[in-house]
Structure 1
Amino acid sequence: MAQDPRLSNLLKWSIQNQSAPDGTPPETRTPLDPSLLAALFGGPSEAELMKTAMEAITSEDPEVTLESKLVAFDNFEQLIENLDNANNIANLAVQNNIKSQEKFLAMNGIPKIIDIILDDKEDTAVRRKAIYALSSATRNYQAAMDLCTGELEKRGYTHGTVDSMNMDAVDVVMNSLKEIAGTS
């Protein structure tokens, strides 16, 4: 059975942060990554936490409150700041990373996120975060931008062809969505 690499990292952290034999603390202590303890004690992985967050965000269960969805969005956003995490979950937020953008496109995420943005029954904060995710999915990735503008045209919003490498042009699309969603 292969050993979890986080356990090796926990051992390294322990050695680097131990006091000298005379009790003198190390010059600098580094914070302990919670995933290292999760490896030791069997807590959920970051991938499992991301999946749980997305389940809450997309839940249509009336018992999942808006506050719970916003907390889940915040937790998810913090987890995907690590691009390794973003790449592990194919249909989740993409942080302007080509591998993640490709997977998000393949999982048909663009139309789904546009639905959230244009849903006037959805909370403004949720719509704002959805615009952020769409922006990350389309910047510097032409196939996603083409699908985005195509989906918006189907819904009556025209932008024509937008160069995904032109940040000003992408901003025009995202700012128009902010105005539509009432988040600007």
Structure 2
Amino acid sequence: MEKLLQWSTAQQSQDPELRAKAPAPDPKLLAQVLGADTGKDDTTLMKEDISVLVCNDPQISVDDKLTALEDFEILVQNMDNANNISPLGIWPEIAKLYTYEGEEQDEFRGLGALITGTAVQNNDKSQRDFLKIVGMEEGILSEKFRNDKNDNKVLLRSLSLLKCLLYDEITQENETAAICKEDRFSEVKGCDAFLTIIRKLSPDLHVEVNERIVNTLSYAAQNNYTFSSEEIDALREGLSKLSSAKITVDSDDLSTLQKLL
């Protein structure tokens, strides 16, 4: 990637000598960056991206690994590719990102949540695969939301992941989605995911994070999730804190939740 950057910078120069001295980039890498057809199918590209992630070769930089994850996220926007995560045995590697430690760890954790959210969004098979192989209790939500550090990007992506796991659109192609909604809500209750995010409500939290929490809870309420008394008490306290600090959230979402109190 560094050679490619040097080459690209040099090609923009008016100095022909500088352009000539620039190291030639790997043609395969150049073709990939320029969007050219590499002749590889998506399954192969998915495996290659994950291979870059798990590779211990010192020549593979942190930026290379992050780029591979970004490419992987683009690939799993396709439902067929998302459904291949389980057969390819990739879910465990994605799950390791949730608690990644090291350089740029928040970027890796955030991408882990983003990839998961993309893969499971309105995708019953991927939702079931995720819950079976990874589960919420071992996932990013509990770990990050109980952490004192408020990294907004990771928090927002984690909330998006939770919403994607719960959300479904009933269509002919996804007619079984409603059947497993109860199972997903049961999983949420079993690992106290909602209680965790409710307790996160605070005037000190970024406004967008508060809004995302309220929106997720509102969606659950509208879809007949049964809040426990402990969750309702915590919700009452959290909303009261926001109100006292004059922190505003979506009025429709707020109205939905106030009916529970």
TM-score (normalised: structure 1): 0.48
CA radius of gyration, larger in: 2
TM-score (normalised: structure 2): 0.36
